[in-house]
Amino acid sequence: MPTPTQIQDTSLDLVAGSPGAHAELLARHRAVLPAWMGLYYEQPIELVAGDGSWVVDGEGNRYLDFWGGILTTLAGHSVPEIVEAVREQAGRMLHTSTLYLIRPMVELAERIAQLSNIPDAKVFLTTSGTEAIDAALLLATAYRRSNQVLAVRNSYHGRSFAAMGITGNRSWSASSLSPFAVHYVQGGYRFRSPFRDLDDAAYTAACVQDLRDVLAMETAGDVACLIAEPVQGVGGFTVPPDGFFGAMKEVLDEQGILFVSDEVQTGWGRTGDHFWGYEAHGIVPDLLTFAKGIGNGLSIGGVVARGEIMDCLATPHISTFGGNPLSTAGALANLEYLLDHDLQANTKAVGDELRRGLVEAAGGLGVVGEIRGKGLMLGIELVGADGRTPNTTAANQALEGTRARGLLVGKGGLYGNCLRIAPPMSLSTADAEHGLRILVDVLHEVDAASGASG
């Protein structure tokens, strides 16, 4: 079996591994942690140190990280400016709570409000994406005095009851209990859509008509909001045509229905073309949720809303940890870093090259049903010989194959048959080419094993 490759000298060369460490930790993990907490790989690994786009595991193996802890390591591992900001804050004070003024929270909220493009924006900070989604849904339903919510098929928004209640993906719906009356509309998963053969304009028109039908046939009127991911993350990086949500919003506007853009995966330039995913649709949302990348690994999320919506709650709210000094100081340093280094431009350039290389070298393989995505958010849907049947076995083999060659990628999609590529947004061209070679080799190997190319 090939061993993980080294392409550059980093401080990671100094990290010593301990043989057998993973098996021992896995046994302890299985004994005390929930069985439903999924782990990647037949032999799960612990990542113990990172530098830029590279990580090392507990047994001393190095990997190129094309997954960034689920699109969260945005600037990269161990970025000195971010590490120093966290160290400095931790040395002074870890915690106060939202009962007191928190300077980095105020500064971060000011920056995000301004970057959001939402008029008269206010920001509420949370500790996770799920909590941000809960807050956005609370605000939208309270403001509109309605518990009716529209969500998108194949969506994922988190793991609380409220977030699960708007999840359009059976794999992640552990309960049907929901505080909302939810109706699902068509979205960007064209590969398995009844409208898949239509061109962009006709596809959008068909989905807009479906939205009108859902509103007329399924709801009781006075719907609170539509919540949507501009590019579906867990759903397998599915992308609707540009302008799609703009066309949907025209219908929403007729009835005063709010549009919530879930930017937990698509925010901060991840799609390359834009700073926010919603910008591909020529609209500004009423509310916006974020998390993951803004903390570069620190626990932080939040919701942005127009002031009148944010201030509509009649009771006071606290958050013990929301906007805490440590996460907000680190997020501020991360935000500075990503703006100063124009990581959006890097994401666009490197992501486009990576996509081009993938399409060229693997797009024609029978096992590859579709290569899609934007920026450094690229998905590969793997299929059987008929070009359509979800091929989860091939996705699992590809996950193992890439790890064995020293590359970490993610998995997702409705049937767990999509590979997901989402490296730190600081990924260099050399590292992108290195990862591409591994991916292409593995896809050819999996294709041969599956017999999908006949």
Ligand X SMILES: Cc1ncc(COP(=O)(O)O)c(C=O)c1O
229/381 with CB nearer ligand X: 229
- CB of residue 133 to ligand X, shortest distance in Å: 5
The helix/strand/coil state of 156 is coil
How many of the other CB atoms lie within 10 Å of CB of 200?
13
Provide the minimum distance between the beta carbon of 229 and ligand X in the complex, in angstroms, as a whole number: 5
CA 438 to chain centre: 23
In the complex, least distance from residue 356 CB atom to ligand X, rounded to whole angstroms: 26
Cβ-based nearer residue to ligand X, 262 or 431 = 262
3-class state of residue 422 by DSSP? coil
Closer to ligand X by Cβ: residue 62 or 157: 157
Give min distance, CB of 211 to ligand X, in A: 20
Q: Measured between alpha carbons, how far is 426 from 77 in angstroms, rounded to an integer?
A: 10
Q: Which residues pair with 149 in a beta bridge?
A: 182, 225
Strands (E), 86-145: 121-126
Burial class (CB in 10 A: 0-12, 13-18, 19+), 218: middle
Bridge partners, residue 368, by sequence: 382
DSSP-based three-state secondary structure for 25: helix
Q: Which amino acid is at 125?
A: L
Residue number, 234 or 248, with CB nearest to ligand X: 234
Listed residue (421, 439, 420, 291) closest to 360, CA to CA: 439
Q: Which is nearer to ligand X, 262 or 370 (CB)?
A: 262
- In degrees, rounded to 5, the angle at the alpha carbon of residue 264 between the alpha carbons of residues 262 and 269 is 105
Nearest distance from residue 160's CB to ligand X, in Å? 8
193/200 Cα distance (integer angstroms): 13
- Closest distance to ligand X from the beta carbon of 266 (Å): 8
Are the CB atoms for 329 and 104 separated by under 8 Å? yes
Name the CA radius of gyration of the chain, rounded. Answer: 22
Min dist CB 398 to ligand X, Å, is 21
**Minimum distance from residue 344 beta carbon to ligand X (Å):** 19
Helix (H) or strand (E) holding 18: none
- In what helix (H) or strand (E) does residue 251 lie, and over which residues does it extend? helix 244-254
CA distance 409 to 13: 22
Place of tokens 């301004």: 114
| SS3 of residue 445 by DSSP | helix
Shortest spacing between CB 130 and ligand X, in angstroms: 3
53 or 154: whose CB is closer to ligand X?
Answer: 154
In the bound state with ligand X, the residue whose beta carbon lies nearer, of 207 and 234, is: 234
Q: Which amino acid is at 436?
A: L
Interface with ligand X (CB under 6 A): 70, 128-130, 133, 156-158, 229, 233-234, 262, 264-265, 291, 301
Q: Considering beta carbons, is residue 104 or 129 the nearer one to ligand X?
A: 129
> Among all residues, whose Cβ is closest to ligand X?
129
Select 157 or 270, whichever has its Cβ closest to ligand X. Answer: 157
Rank residues 266 and 391 by Cβ distance to ligand X and give the closer one.
Answer: 266
Residue pair 296/74 in contact (Cβ under 8 Å)? The answer is yes
Q: How far is the CB of 131 from ligand X (least distance, A)?
A: 7
Neighbours of 380 (CB within 10 A): 29
C-alpha 304, offset from chain centre: 18
Min dist. Cβ of residue 292 to ligand X (A): 6
State which residue, 128 or 296, has the beta carbon closest to ligand X.
128
The token duo for 303 is 């919701």
